[in-house]
Amino acid sequence: MKQLIMLLMLLVTSALHSTAQTVFEKDANGIMVQQQTIHTQQQALGNGIATGEQFKDLQGNLYPVYKSAKGRLFIVRKAKSGNHYKVYLDEKQPDKADK
């Protein structure tokens, strides 16, 4: 039984690691060369809908605000690597002491 459990764990972990994380192409010499994958702004948006509002961060940058299919508000930022990613916004709720 112990061997069966170990075999199942081995199969599960190998299946999880079988998906490629790095994209590559082979050059003329047959050497695998890593390719940089960039997530575009359109990929980060997905099916987000523009709300017409803007969000200003602490540095003073303005971003258009989008609404996800589930109704959550988010902006799309660009990382130094060039990838675009979502940042979900949560409106500050008033403290109970403020009431």
Give CA separation, 5 vs 15, 17, 40, in Å: 15, 19, 42
Whether residue 99 has pLDDT greater than 60: no
Is the pTM here over 0.75, yes or no? no
Give the number of other Cβ atoms within 10 Å of residue 76's Cβ. Answer: 21
High-pLDDT (> 70) share of the chain, %: 72
**Among candidate residues 37, 36, 41, 35, the one with its CA nearest the CA of residue 78:** 41
Nearby residues of 51 by Cβ (< 8 Å), 6 or more positions away: 64, 65, 66, 67, 73
Asked if residue 45 is part of any domain, the answer here is yes
Mean pLDDT (whole number) for 30-41: 72
Query: Which range marks the domain in which residue 72 is found?
Result: 37-99
Number of domains into which the chain is organized: 1
Amino acid 19: pLDDT: 47
Contact 26, 48 (CB under 8 A): no
Q: Which residue has the higher pLDDT, 24 or 27?
A: 27
Q: For 48-67, how does the pLDDT look when each residue is reduced to its tens digit (9 = 90+)?
A: 888 999 999 999 999 999 99
